Amino acid sequence: MSRIVYVNGEYLPEEEAKVSVFDRGFLFADAVYEVTSILDGKILAFDGHAARLQRSLDELQMQNPISTEDLLEVHRELVKRNELKEGMIYLQVSRGNPGDRDFAFPSEDVKPTIVLFTQTANLLNNPKIDIGMKVISVDDQRWARRDIKTTQLLFPSMAKMMAKAAGVDDAWLVEDGHVTEGSSNNAYIVKDGKIITRHLGSEILHGITRAAVLAYAEAAQMQIEERPFTIEEAQNADEAFITSASTFVMPIVEVDGVMLGDGKPGKSAARLREIYLDESRKQAL
């Protein structure tokens, strides 16, 4: 059955959903996005995603075409119309269609384009939860403002393909000798019971799942150190994991061919995943 998608105020069958070829999201990747997870037909961490969306728009001097209240209603309507029980809702806002291609931003009377669609996914029972993921390191060649969640995802896509070609699951990006983050996730190591992850800045995305997991870890009296770490540190860590909206907390068992610990998912990742899912479901909308 065809999905129902949302385009500029209309709910349409996906075959009828269209965006202009002159849209700046298409021509310049002049757009931002968010991905919210759906479990049991409910939306996880909506407030955090809505707040980050507004921040991204503000950083790019882009108008927000929809209020937070209306955006929540659109999410709920898409879940209902598509009978989505488990998966994701993708949201994208671009600077719109000025009618001609021009590097300069168009005038403010050009309305932003907003698109949302659903995607079914097996979030809870991903087989990698039990066996862990393997990663390689790749030089981080993205632009400098990674804290803005833009659709400029070509290099992360290339990093994913490098990982695939190497026969592993993902890539950790490295800049100035230190890990920034994964290709589409935040990265962590655990050493002597301490969770280590890069501090917030323009070098990494301010992950919504990251913020929640660290808050839950602190509440559980787990030690946290926010600082850069090297690939060598990761290879000598007791365990490692990633966080994102679609993976929640996912264990890493190998970095650049070096097995971590006993090569099995670690206890810290398992505990944090359990806490995150329990608390997120309580707060789901």
How far is residue 61's CA from residue 55's CA, in Å, rounded to a whole number? 10
User: Which helix (H) or strand (E) covers residue 161, if one does?
Assistant: helix 154-165
For this structure, is 18 an active site residue?
Answer: no
Catalytic residue selected from 42, 128, 149, 267: 149
Contacts 24+ apart (CB under 8 A), 214-220: 216/272, 216/275, 216/276, 216/279, 217/272, 217/275, 220/271, 220/275
Question: Which tokens go with 204?
Answer: 């990494």
- Do residues 133 and 163 touch, judged by C-beta distance below 8 A? no
Does the CA dihedral 140-183-216-73 come out positive or negative? Answer: positive
Alpha-carbon span 187 to 234, nearest angstrom: 10
Q: Are 250 and 269 in contact (CB under 8 A)?
A: yes
Strands laid side by side in the 113-120 sheet? 10-13, 4-7, 113-120, 87-94, 31-39, 42-43
Active site residues: 149
